[in-house]
Structure 1
Amino acid sequence: MEIKQYLEPLIKWWKLILVACLLAGISSFLIISRQPPTYQTRVSLVIGRAVYEPNPSGGEMGLAQQLAAYYANIAEREVIRNATMTALNLRWLPAYASQAVPNSQIIEITVTDTDPVRAQAVANELANQLIKQSPSNPDLKEQKRQEFIRQQLELLETQIQDTQEQIAQQENEMGTLNSARQIAEAQADLTAQRQKLTTLQTNYATMLGTSLGRASNSLNIIETAALPTRPIGPNRGTIILMSIAIAFMISAGAAYLIEYLDDSIETPEEINRVMKLPVIGFIPEIDNDVHKATIVAEKPRSVVAESFRAVKVSLDFGQVDVPAKSFLVASVSKTEGKSMIASNLAMTYALSGKKVFLLDADLRRPSLHTYLDLPNAKGLTTLLLHPEKSIQQCAQSLPIGNLSVITAGNSVENPSDLIGSQRMKDILLELSERSDYLIVDGPPVLVTDSTILSTAVDEVLIVVGYGLTRRSEAAVALKRLESAGAKIGGVILNRIPRNNRAYYRLYHYDYGMPAEDTRSIKLGKFHFPMKFNRPVNKKKKPASHDTSDLGDQVASRVDKTI
């Protein structure tokens, strides 16, 4: 498959996608514009004092990281939330998150709120409440205890210094002693001083370890929450673009789903893929204010008439070696408009100066007599059931070129037997010999009668209705015709909507012409405008294959009729 085939659903449903994206963008903008700006602030805490030590141990660092994860989890518990709301006299807290910075002993508490002042106050108070849950809780009793420890540490520092000085002095004096008794007493005194120094140092180290300044399980604020001045959201542009992107994906998915579920044929590319046949004509939808089966005669300058002339040209140029004289116009089902195609195609050949027979061979649901307002008492069934009847007795001439119509006739109970009879083949052969072209309006291909008729004509023209013919049915119809050995001339895509401008840009040439004096002739309840650029009694030009001035040819036929 080509890329264009993948993009066809998007191109076809571009209006749906555009509307969905516009609605998503506008609605998201209206919603976001009503939302207040949000602000964010952050407070940071550190665990212990290892980070401030010149030579921290690995054990201290690992313990601090474990404690950081523990306190980060505690910060999001109800006990901290409730204590913070009570301290700030709030009924609710804005959204916040607490996390331990990876591979460190730092905790970050981030608060997001629409009020920047409240966000700052909540962040700082959360940190304070978290500190109160730790051993470093600075209550009054603990403060007194820490003050006592500080005083004791200062006293121990003084005693240690004095003892060290006494030891140094005694060591110097021992060098001046001469008697053994004095030396023994001095050594005993020096030993006692050294033991005293050791005891003092041990007490100092123990007391220093119990102080908060050296505790591993302690919390300290290293960065208080600042007052945020710039909002962090909402990011209107990003949200609107995301809404549009989501709407595009949903609507595009809906377009592909619709196309997947829709089994109808709408493009010539689909016809080529499914049926492997060329499209020889594109017929637009005909307005209801005109007679669809005779629009070529009623409005010879219309786009529809030009479309049928294009079909005629395609058939003429496609029959260089062995020209086809008889055509079966058949549709896949009953709603594609085959009778309208057959009638207007026959009129197009007749207006070009050819002798044409138009035969209604749809004995199950005949319609040509209704479209052309012709009597149906005698017709094809008359010729089939009464061999003594001649074609002249059943054919009805129309004042449109040299066109004769044979209607279906009265209904019969066994149409398939009559269509497959030798008499039917003889009638088709005689009509082909007595005319330049024979146009047969047959039943749908899915009906057995059409398969039988396809082998008795030169070519079969398949009518496909835009958005009406299903791919599966078209494939089955083609298989039936190929199995019967029918020669298929091509496909006519009918009933293309008028609002589908792409077809008119690609497949039609609408050339405007000035208005001219017209007369009309009456055929049943139909009035056909005919162009007269010259006096009626002027010698008419011989008929030719040139379709550039169809009005002159029609006028010449009218002169003869009048």
Structure 2
Amino acid sequence: MLWYDLKYYPSQGSYLAIMTINEYFQLLRQKLWFISTATLVTGSLVFLVLSQKSPTYRAEVIVSIGGYIQSPNPTSLDIRAGVELAQTYAVLATTNEILDAATQEGHFPVNAEELHDLVEARVVPATSLLVISVTYTDPEWASEMANMIATQLIARSPTNLTPIQQAQVDLASSEIRELSLLVGTARDQLNQIEEELSHAADAQETEALRERQNVLITQITLASSTIAQYSNTIVSLQERTNSLTIVERATVPTSPSGFGRLPLSILGAIVGAIASGVFVLLSDYLSNTVRRPHEATALLEVPVIGVIPIKNLNRPIKHLDLIANSASAATESYRAVRAKLLFPYQGRTNPFLFVSHSENDGKSVMIAGLGIVIAQAGLRVLLIDANFHQPSLHTMFNLPAENGLGTLLAQELDLDEADRAELVASCVQVTPIANLSLLAAGPAPADSAGVFGSQVMARWLQFIETATKAHIILMDTSPLSSTSDAFVLAVGLQTPVVVIVRSGTTPYEALIDLRAQIKHFGITLAGIVLINR
């Protein structure tokens, strides 16, 4: 199944099918040299750039926000507060105050501004863990910088106790030590009483020991309770929500960070290939020129009778030598045009008028090549150069251009038949190709369009057909973009017109305008020939 890309043309009031999926792939194959070059250049540039850069190393330190991690039963409020505070500390870790303090304390080889470009702080999602990473060319300095930044961040946070809080902790610790000694002594005494109870025989002695035992148990219970209270006080002071603790210090990295030069070069080459492919497709899509046969057919509503490959229009003689002396693919293309063009007109001598939008569309070269393959089929062919603005057919056969069509049009029509035949014979030149003759442009008339629109041109053309006994006449004309000669000739002679379209050069608008003119003047189109570059 073929899928079409549609483009809208307001002057036509309709959509035009531009490309099929298959043609997209053909286009990419045609531009494979460009894509391959872009791929190679991009990959090489990435490799060269990376080769000039020193490898970098990444060191990371992990900081925990809040003391709930050390608590056996943290509350949801503590956890939520720690997660939210972590975002704030991620910003504070890269501030100038922290970085400047770290730079001065650590004596780094970079200043605070340069360090800012090397450091990154991020929070592990859904946790209160802050990761501070430093990427630098020296692995040891990278780890030192990361650890120092974490240290300076902690030093400037409420993590450390105030003097009053520290005094409370010291007092509670002292009381805990004294109470612990008291509990220890009481336990020793309690053990001794239990041993004496096991040997006591007197009831009165036993009762006295029981009273002492109860007193010691009460003392131990009260002391343990007091110790627990003091311990809770210490924990509440030390395990606060807004406190920072280094969970894992940064170590010296042993391998460079990121991808190596080769993987990045391959990735760069892939990106270059994709970008160049997109560029080729996008430039083709945005182009306003005809590139494929079905585009020309849709615009002019007549079939493309052939596609002729002409690689270099600046060397027409070499192209024509190839057509005349070999069985190349280009020669077969001309033969296909010959068959489709002449078949509807078998048995009739018929001039064909060839028109194109601009001078560089390859029309004259194509006419010469078509004349050669028709002549090789045994038909007498006459080429007429009616392009008085830039005549070129004579140069393709190395013939002079002093006399030609302009010479005939300058003569009066009342010449007798013998004089006219002699004049035609003096202007028509034989080419090196058998059965192929040329009537060059000759001297240009002052008003070529006026002459072409008069009966002079039509009557001379009739006499030329008779005098030369040509089976086929192929007429070259001036480009449509510069003069009206081609339109005047087509209307005046009422001869079939072949439109030459050069792929990638002829604009859509030119064919849309041509289609309107053809319909307006009732011109007969014999077909379209697409010139591929």
Q: How does the TM-score come out when normalised to structure 1?
A: 0.66
**Structure 2: which amino acid aligns with 1:372?**
L
SS in 2 for 1:40: strand
Structure 2 counterpart of 1:486: 523
**Cα gap change, 1:381 to 1:227, in 2 (>3 Å):** closer
**Structure 1: which amino acid aligns with 2:351?**
S
**Structure 1: which amino acid aligns with 2:409?**
T
**Cα gap change, 1:28 to 1:161, in 2 (>3 Å):** same
Matched, 1:394 2:423: yes
C-alpha separation in 2, matches of 1:17 and 1:102: 42
Counterpart among 494, 498, 505 of residue 461 in structure 1: 498
Matched, 1:40 2:58: yes
Structure 1 counterpart of 2:449: 416
Q: CA deviation at 1:249?
A: 4.7
Matched, 1:108 2:131: yes
Deviations 1:185-236 (A, max 9, x none): x9xxx9xx99999899579626741467753254444333344334333443
Structure 2 counterpart of 1:233: 258
CA contact (8 A) 1:381 1:409 kept: no
Structure 2 counterpart of 1:451: 487
C-alpha separation in 1, matches of 2:148 and 2:518: 87
Matched, 1:243 2:268: yes
C-alpha separation in 1, matches of 2:365 and 2:44: 47
C-alpha separation in 2, matches of 1:7 and 1:89: 60
Structure 1 counterpart of 2:339: 313
Taking the TM superposition and a 5 Å limit, the aligned residue runs for 1:244-323 are 244-256=269-281, 258-259=283-284, 263-265=288-290, 267-268=292-293, 270-275=295-300, 276-280=302-306, 282=308, 284=310, 299-301=324-326, 303=328, 308-319=334-345
**Structure 2: which amino acid aligns with 1:279?**
I
Taking the TM superposition and a 5 Å limit, the aligned residue runs for 1:335-484 are 335-343=360-368, 345-346=370-371, 348-362=373-387, 372-373=399-400, 375-376=402-403, 379-382=407-410, 385-390=412-417, 391-396=420-425, 398-399=429-430, 401=434, 406=439, 410-432=443-465, 435-444=469-478, 446=480, 447-455=483-491, 456-465=493-502, 468-484=505-521
CA contact (8 A) 2:47 2:265 kept: yes
Q: CA deviation at 1:288?
A: 7.2
Structure 2 counterpart of 1:215: 239
**Cα gap change, 1:108 to 1:261, in 2 (>3 Å):** closer
SS in 1 for 2:254: coil
CA contact (8 A) 1:328 1:461 kept: yes
SS in 2 for 1:231: coil
Deviations 1:351-404 (A, max 9, x none): 544344444444566565676325527843145x32334341322255565566
SS in 2 for 1:439: strand
**Cα gap change, 1:293 to 1:408, in 2 (>3 Å):** farther
Structure 1 counterpart of 2:94: 76
**Cα gap change, 1:363 to 1:230, in 2 (>3 Å):** closer
**Cα gap change, 1:135 to 1:332, in 2 (>3 Å):** closer
**Structure 2: which amino acid aligns with 1:84?**
A
C-alpha separation in 1, matches of 2:91 and 2:383: 91
**Cα gap change, 1:323 to 1:283, in 2 (>3 Å):** farther
Indicate the structure (1 or 2) with the bigger Cα radius of gyration: 1
Structure 2 counterpart of 1:31: 49
CA contact (8 A) 1:282 1:492 kept: yes
Q: CA deviation at 1:118?
A: 3.1
Q: CA deviation at 1:7?
A: 4.7
Q: CA deviation at 1:25?
A: 0.9
CA contact (8 A) 2:401 2:441 kept: no
C-alpha separation in 2, matches of 1:77 and 1:366: 77
SS in 1 for 2:45: helix
Across the aligned residues of Structure 1 and Structure 2, the Cα RMSD in angstroms comes to 4.8
Deviations 1:121-148 (A, max 9, x none): 3344444434433455389999887554
Deviations 1:488-535 (A, max 9, x none): 2223345x55xxxxxxxxxxxxxxxxxxxxxxxxxxxxxxxxxxxxxx
CA contact (8 A) 1:356 1:439 kept: yes
Q: CA deviation at 1:346?
A: 4.4
**Cα gap change, 1:140 to 1:241, in 2 (>3 Å):** farther
SS in 1 for 2:145: helix
**Structure 2: which amino acid aligns with 1:451?**
F
Deviations 1:80-133 (A, max 9, x none): 334433443324376333444444444433343333333333344444434433
C-alpha separation in 1, matches of 2:69 and 2:521: 94
Identity of aligned residues (%): 25
**Structure 2: which amino acid aligns with 1:454?**
A
Structure 2 counterpart of 1:328: 353
Structure 2: segments with no counterpart, 5+ residues? 5-19, 194-202, 204-210
**Cα gap change, 1:160 to 1:47, in 2 (>3 Å):** farther
**Structure 1: which amino acid aligns with 2:50?**
I
CA contact (8 A) 2:136 2:142 kept: yes
SS in 1 for 2:355: strand
Larger mean CA deviation between 22-31 and 432-441 belongs to 432-441
Counterpart among 151, 165, 175 of residue 152 in structure 1: 175
**Cα gap change, 1:209 to 1:78, in 2 (>3 Å):** farther
C-alpha separation in 2, matches of 1:105 and 1:338: 76
SS in 2 for 1:152: helix
**Cα gap change, 1:105 to 1:195, in 2 (>3 Å):** farther
SS in 1 for 2:61: strand
C-alpha separation in 2, matches of 1:89 and 1:412: 91
Q: CA deviation at 1:442?
A: 4.3
**Structure 2: which amino acid aligns with 1:117?**
E
Taking the TM superposition and a 5 Å limit, the aligned residue runs for 1:46-61 are 46-47=64-65, 49-61=67-79
C-alpha separation in 2, matches of 1:106 and 1:404: 92
**Cα gap change, 1:160 to 1:208, in 2 (>3 Å):** farther
Structure 1 counterpart of 2:8: none
C-alpha separation in 2, matches of 1:374 and 1:226: 88
Taking the TM superposition and a 5 Å limit, the aligned residue runs for 1:521-540 are none
Deviations 1:24-80 (A, max 9, x none): 211211222343443334333445543344433334434444554454444334443
CA contact (8 A) 1:48 1:214 kept: no
CA contact (8 A) 1:136 1:212 kept: no
CA contact (8 A) 1:327 1:460 kept: yes
Q: Which has the higher helix share?
A: 2
Deviations 1:296-333 (A, max 9, x none): 99x5447576665554333334546x756322233333
Q: CA deviation at 1:151?
A: 1.7
